[in-house]
């Protein structure tokens, strides 16, 4: 089932990942031609097949929105790893794979005899990726959390929101969908390249906690170098004013405006139609605008509040002022043509009409990724056992009956 | 502490490098992370700045060097493991040298306004003629094409257009962004992945390509839990502050504790664990003890004021008051021993002092000649057993590798001096 001309074809991944960050790390491989095999089981269903947004009234492990989005183009084999035969079939899949991935906490893989040392015995040049929240060693290695906990633990919450309010973090499961899977795919790509050149596999230990801390970048360096702790500044910025989102016409509509230079400030004044109040000395320089920021924000809000957010954006952009609508998901999916045309795919699905999924984020001039539907639970069990592992058809039937392929 | 000369020699020989490529890096701001990641993995990354220095050097935070002059930590952290040369691209001579470099390189990274390099006649089409295997990666706020390609932007603008602030913050306040700018970084790390994939394709097919990375799309990706809602439920995910939607009710996920806040994922095992912990230490109501955990996960269409929902709220209230006198550390220790999905809302200070990060040697002190002192860096965000990631060299000063790089192009010492005098390098 490999697609020969895509850049990542001829790579096979045995994917023990579950929930979000693990599976998302291998999605890009599947869409760019690799054969990614989800090793899962009906006896302990991956929770992401069930939770979150899903069509109402259908009891099925195949229709949840996030599941379908993060597992495009993959295959699914169901194996009960707590049976000897199931485990041995999983090892057979590993034997013909280049990469084994998981994002369990602690030593779950080790309990199946699938830790790196044992994987090497199955396939000496195997590349193994582990993504436990806290890493594979250290005093907190057994702590298991998910996206919500990582946002808080890795400090994103502490710098997001308002100083007089709780550190609420992001409404999205930010690290699950950005840094952590990205960093994991990067490591895998590099390790595959290295193995191709040297014949050596390796173990990649990606602590999701550390990987998310790295997104705080210089907020941490400022503390380590200058002893200064960042606060929760809302949307304010140290070197831009005005810098906020401003209420527009309609329910919960906002436009962001960010002015960094004197030229942009003059442009903003022109864009707003040379309003008298903006010429007051208290807004004449950056330092004065920063000192009177609350009043400045109020003045701009008064101007934006009876206008359409997109009109505000287009008018200000045409005057050379950085401005953008605070788009909601509905805008992104329907209104924002720059997305919907190229990045949202209406994927046919056998159990429901269709399911909207993201395309690949990156466009390349020479390659078009092939984004296919996420697999139904166990959809490719027969292909993987029969075609890939050469198990006889009658034997497969026996395995079904004995519950090994549950 | 490691001195920079020694660090050069720590750089592994080509054969042992993860990524044996030569990369020209013209990117600015957070897009510098793309080249930094390539450098971490052993690629030779050549940072090209204009002779006056990169704009990114003006980006805070700053710290004073040994002469008391402020130097950018932002520059330092995203430009380690790079060599630095200076080159004026808007002169013919500068462009000739640039094209020679392109001819010897595998990829270029840049974040100019769409069309800028074309206007200098060194856009992708021109470069591809000189080096057909070249990967040209662009990182821009809205991508190189489409109605917003010409928009000017900042992190707040791109994040807003990507949909992230809309779902973040308190219900009764305006949408809010993560205060440390993320859009450029997320796009930069995606650009890294795409560049490596394209380099692999280039090796296999002998054709390079243009890789077009949009920050807006990179941001939209971080919302994958929200984007299925309009289609599947006809509703938008909105800001809920310290709460998250659980079926028909808002379940609290941020709780105040004695010395700060913690964030909890209110799933069955965690709720059960909290009820057990409370029952060990305090008198709790029978109704809470007998709470039917199996029924906590309410269906979206069930009654938000019904019996199960109000029972859930009662448990939540009890946890709220129980946690208010516990410290972050006490709660985290219980989470560790009982497997609860709750984590402290750590501050930067908590993170710096984390015993876990200490035990895993996350922090690295690197001597920066430009600062005249050690700067504590964040360590690699992953451990690779065969090819560990390291900081081989600190961020370069303007043109610090001019001689080495230009010499490799056959430009002699006197010529380099002449170019310097004319302000080309």
Number of domains forming the structure of chain B: 2
Considering the domain boundaries, does residue B243 fall inside one?
A: no
Nearest to A53 among B15, B233, B378 (CB): B233
Q: How many CB atoms lie within 10 A of CB A326?
A: 31
Q: What are phi and psi of B75, to 5 degrees?
A: -60, -50
pLDDT at A107: 81
Domains and CATH numbers, chain A: 12-215+376-401 (3.40.50.10540), 243-331 (3.30.1540.10)
Tokens (6 digits) for A75: 């295959």
Q: Are residues B367 and B323 part of one domain?
A: no
Contacts of B109 in chain A (CB under 8 A): none
State the nearest Cα–Cα gap between B134 and chain A, in angstroms: 12
Considering the domain boundaries, does residue B246 fall inside one?
A: no
Considering the domain boundaries, does residue B237 fall inside one?
A: no
Q: How many CB atoms lie within 10 A of CB B146?
A: 18
**Which residues lie closer than 8 Å to A391 by C-beta, 6 or more apart?**
A89, A385, A399
Q: Are residues B17 and B89 part of one domain?
A: yes
Considering the domain boundaries, does residue B219 fall inside one?
A: yes
User: Is B311 a residue whose pLDDT tops 50?
Assistant: yes
Do the chains contact at B254 and A70, CB–CB below 8 Å?
no
Angle, helices B32-40 vs B183-205, to 10°: value is 50
pLDDT at A1: 46
Domain's final residue, options B290, B314, B346: B346
Distance, C-alpha A207 to centroid of its chain: 15
| ipTM for this model | 0.89
State the nearest Cα–Cα gap between A188 and chain B, in angstroms: 10
Q: Are residues B168 and B26 part of one domain?
A: yes
Contacts of A161 in chain B (CB under 8 A): 168-170, 176
**pLDDT band of B5, cuts 50, 70, 90:** very low
pLDDT at B188: 94
Q: Are residues B299 and B390 part of one domain?
A: no
Q: Are residues B42 and B156 part of one domain?
A: yes
* Least confident window among A205-209, A356-360, B30-34, B117-121: A356-360
CA distance A357 to A67: 10
Distance, C-alpha A328 to centroid of its chain: 18
Percent of chain B whose pLDDT exceeds 70: 95
Domain residue limits at B390? 4-223+357-421
Do the chains contact at B356 and A140, CB–CB below 8 Å?
yes
Helix, coil or strand: residue B264: strand
Q: What is the DSSP letter of A321?
A: -
pLDDT at A343: 79
Peptide bond into B140 cis (omega under 30): no
Mean pLDDT of the B373-377 span: 87
Q: Which residue of A has its CA nearest to B197?
A: A7
First-to-last CA distance in chain B? 32
CA distance B177 to B384: 33
pLDDT at B307: 82
Q: Is B13 exposed, middle or buried (0-12, 13-18, 19+ CB in 10 A)?
A: exposed
User: Is B231 a residue whose pLDDT tops 80?
Assistant: no
User: Which runs of E-coded beta strand occur in B101-196?
Assistant: 107-110, 135-140
Domain's final residue, options B303, B322, B346: B346
Domain's final residue, options B282, B314, B346: B346
Contacts of A256 in chain B (CB under 8 A): 156-157, 159-161, 165
Q: Are residues B280 and B196 part of one domain?
A: no
pLDDT tens, residue order, chain A (406 aa): 444 478 888 999 999 999 999 999 999 999 999 999 999 999 999 999 998 888 888 889 999 999 999 999 999 999 999 999 999 999 999 999 999 999 998 788 999 999 999 999 999 999 999 999 999 999 999 898 888 899 999 999 999 999 899 998 888 889 998 889 999 998 999 999 899 999 999 999 999 999 999 888 888 888 988 899 988 999 999 889 999 999 999 999 999 999 999 999 999 999 999 999 999 999 999 999 999 999 999 999 999 999 999 999 999 999 999 999 999 988 888 877 766 777 788 899 999 988 888 888 777 787 888 999 999 999 999 999 999 999 999 999 999 999 999 9
Do the chains contact at B265 and A8, CB–CB below 8 Å?
no
Instruction: Concatenate the DSSP letters of all residues of A32-53 into one string.
Output: TT-EEEEEE-TTS--GGGTSSS
Q: Are residues B158 and B29 part of one domain?
A: yes
Sheet with B260-264, strands from edge to edge, namely B254-257, B260-264, B342-344
Q: Report the CATH number that the domain containing residue B116 is assigned in CATH.
A: 3.40.50.10540
User: Is B241 a residue whose pLDDT tops 90?
Assistant: no
Contacts of B174 in chain A (CB under 8 A): 234-235, 244-245, 247, 254
């Amino acid at each position: 089932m490999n697609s020969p001309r895509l850049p990542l074809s001829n790579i096979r991944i045995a994917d023990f990942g579950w929930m979000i960050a693990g599976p998302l790390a291998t999605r890009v491989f599947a869409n760019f031609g690799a054969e990614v095999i989800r090793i899962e089981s009906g006896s302990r269903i991956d929770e992401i097949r069930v939770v979150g947004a899903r069509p109402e009234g259908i009891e099925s492990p195949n229709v949840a929105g996030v599941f379908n989005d993060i597992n495009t183009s993959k295959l699914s084999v169901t194996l009960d790893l707590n049976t000897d035969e199931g485990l041995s079939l999983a090892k057979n899949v590993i034997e013909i794979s280049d990469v084994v991935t998981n994002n369990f906490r602690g030593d779950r893989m080790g309990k199946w005899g699938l830790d790196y040392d044992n994987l090497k015995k199955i396939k000496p040049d195997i590349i193994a990726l582990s993504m436990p929240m806290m890493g594979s060693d250290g005093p907190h290695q057994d702590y298991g959390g998910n996206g919500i906990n990582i946002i808080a633990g890795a400090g994103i919450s502490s710098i997001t929101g308002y100083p007089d309010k709780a550190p609420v973090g992001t409404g999205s499961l930010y690290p699950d969908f950005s840094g952590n899977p990205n960093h994991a795919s990067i490591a895998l790509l590099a390790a595959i390249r290295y193995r191709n050149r040297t014949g050596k596999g390796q173990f990649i230990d990606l602590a999701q906690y550390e990987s998310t801390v790295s997104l705080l970048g210089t907020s941490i360096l400022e503390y380590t170098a200058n002893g200064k702790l960042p606060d929760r500044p809302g949307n304010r910025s140290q070197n831009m004013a005005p810098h906020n989102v401003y209420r527009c016409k309609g329910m919960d509509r906002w436009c962001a405006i960010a002015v960094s230079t004197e030229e942009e400030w003059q442009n903003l004044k022109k864009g707003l139609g040379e309003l008298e109040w903006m010429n007051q000395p208290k807004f004449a320089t950056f330092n004065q605008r920063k000192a009177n920021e609350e009043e400045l924000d109020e003045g701009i809000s008064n101007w934006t509040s009876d206008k359409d957010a997109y009109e505000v954006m287009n008018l200000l952009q045409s005057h050379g002022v950085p401005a953008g609508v605070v788009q909601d998901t509905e805008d992104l999916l329907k209104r924002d043509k720059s997305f919907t045309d190229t990045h949202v795919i209406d994927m046919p699905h056998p159990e429901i009409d269709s399911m909207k999924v993201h395309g690949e984020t990156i466009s390349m001039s020479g390659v078009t990724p092939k984004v296919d539907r996420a697999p139904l639970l166990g959809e490719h069990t027969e292909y993987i056992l029969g075609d890939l592992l050469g198990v006889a058809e009658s034997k497969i039937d026996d395995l079904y009956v004995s519950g090994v392929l549950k | 502490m490691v001195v920079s000369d020694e660090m050069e020699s720590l750089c592994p020989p080509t054969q042992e490098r993860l990524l044996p490529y030569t990369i020209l890096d013209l990117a600015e701001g957070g897009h510098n992370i793309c080249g930094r990641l390539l450098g971490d993995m052993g690629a030779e990354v050549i940072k090209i700045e204009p002779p006056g220095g990169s704009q990114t050097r003006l980006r805070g935070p700053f710290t004073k060097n040994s002469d008391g002059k402020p130097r950018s930590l932002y520059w330092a952290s995203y430009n380690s493991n790079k060599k630095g040369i200076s080159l004026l691209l808007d002169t013919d001579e500068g462009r000739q040298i640039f094209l020679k470099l392109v001819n010897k390189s595998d990829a270029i990274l840049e974040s100019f306004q769409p069309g800028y390099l074309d206007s200098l006649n060194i856009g992708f089409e021109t470069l591809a003629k000189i080096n057909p295997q070249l990967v040209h990666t662009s990182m821009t706020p809205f991508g190189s094409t489409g109605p917003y390609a010409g928009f000017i932007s900042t992190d707040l603008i791109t994040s807003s257009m990507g949909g992230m602030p809309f779902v973040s913050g308190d219900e009764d306040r305006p949408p809010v962004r993560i205060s440390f700018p993320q859009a450029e970084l997320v796009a930069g790390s995606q650009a890294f992945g795409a560049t490596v994939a394209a380099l692999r394709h280039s090796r296999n097919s002998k054709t390079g390509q243009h890789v077009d990375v949009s920050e807006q799309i990179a941001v939209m990706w971080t919302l994958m839990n929200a984007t299925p809602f309009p289609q599947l439920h006809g509703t938008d995910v909105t800001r809920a502050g310290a709460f998250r939607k659980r079926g028909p009710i808002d379940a609290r996920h941020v709780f105040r504790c004695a010395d700060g806040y913690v964030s909890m994922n209110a799933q069955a095992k965690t709720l059960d664990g909290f009820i057990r912990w409370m029952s060990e230490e305090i008198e709790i109501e029978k109704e809470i003890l007998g709470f039917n955990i199996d029924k906590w996960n309410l269906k979206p269409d069930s009654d938000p004021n019904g019996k199960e929902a109000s029972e859930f709220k009662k448990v939540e209230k009890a946890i709220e008051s129980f946690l208010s006198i516990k410290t972050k550390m006490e709660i985290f220790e219980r989470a560790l021993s009982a497997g609860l999905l709750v984590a402290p809302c750590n501050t930067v200070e908590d993170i710096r002092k984390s015993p876990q990060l200490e035990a895993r040697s996350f922090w690295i002190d690197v001597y920066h000649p430009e600062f005249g002192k050690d700067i504590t860096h964040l360590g690699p965000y992953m451990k690779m057993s065969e090819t560990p990631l390291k900081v081989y060299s600190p961020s370069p000063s303007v043109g610090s590798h001019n001689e080495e790089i230009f010499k490799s192009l056959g430009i002699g010492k006197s010529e380099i001096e002449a170019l310097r005098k004319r302000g080309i390098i």
